[in-house]
Structure 1
């Protein structure tokens, strides 16, 4: 197939591809852009088209893959398109950079709250926090395992109440 014949076939197929592009993009301008990009890719890769195969299916595949690639690129960029008249690309507010100040304040508050606990609750809680099992704590402190579980529960509850400003 010559370049002229291929161009003519592409122009004939553009009418059938337009509704598919509109279905994918849900916007007439974006559909026109997608159609134009599909036609350009098809023309530049015309040597890869096997004569005797289905041109329409080949073009639909190119269009679908182009749409998916463009969508993934837009998502990776972390931007969205403002569809108002001024058509700006605006950075998404989903991406934010945090410094460690918030974490440092939280850690200081956590440590202060732990220090405020009565020793009867703080000791089993800190042992559990360091990786001891309930039965190991009970053995070391020479108290029943139920008492260990209860004291850890009370310590958690008190810490939760003292640190409620950090709830999401």
Structure 2
């Protein structure tokens, strides 16, 4: 393998965590996300000669993953769903800690977003891409991406009942009790 091939291999392997996170946001299923990442890596490696050196490898990979997802989505439209949720209910496990519940609530809310809003939010907020890079991946204007991210953030806040910064985080459910305790302690002094 030549130097360019080794560099491409390193770039592909380095992008796996971000690709998996993006795939999870699109599919909502860890197994399907892994399949999407694998298919993306295979397509990227097979078409590595079409990649223009010096351009953004991450954007190229995210575009491939997005195209793979939507291609599969079109194919799967005819599949029968688990409409009553009986199969999913048998597979679900309840989280043991509050953090797991918060994450589950967030994931549920994230999946309720419109697909284009979820995609934009994950690219910007989750993957740390610029608005310009996200716009290029999604094939739309930068203003459209900004609008989608803003709408996604507002909808998430609504779904998660977040009104202020104090409404989320690990201490949010204990903050009211703690503030009463600290006020009571100050009154006694």
Q: TM-score, normalised by structure 2?
A: 0.41
Q: TM-score, normalised by structure 1?
A: 0.46
Instruction: Look at both structures and tell me which one has the larger radius of gyration over its CA atoms.
Output: 1
Q: Which has the higher contact order (CA 8 A, sep 6+)?
A: 2
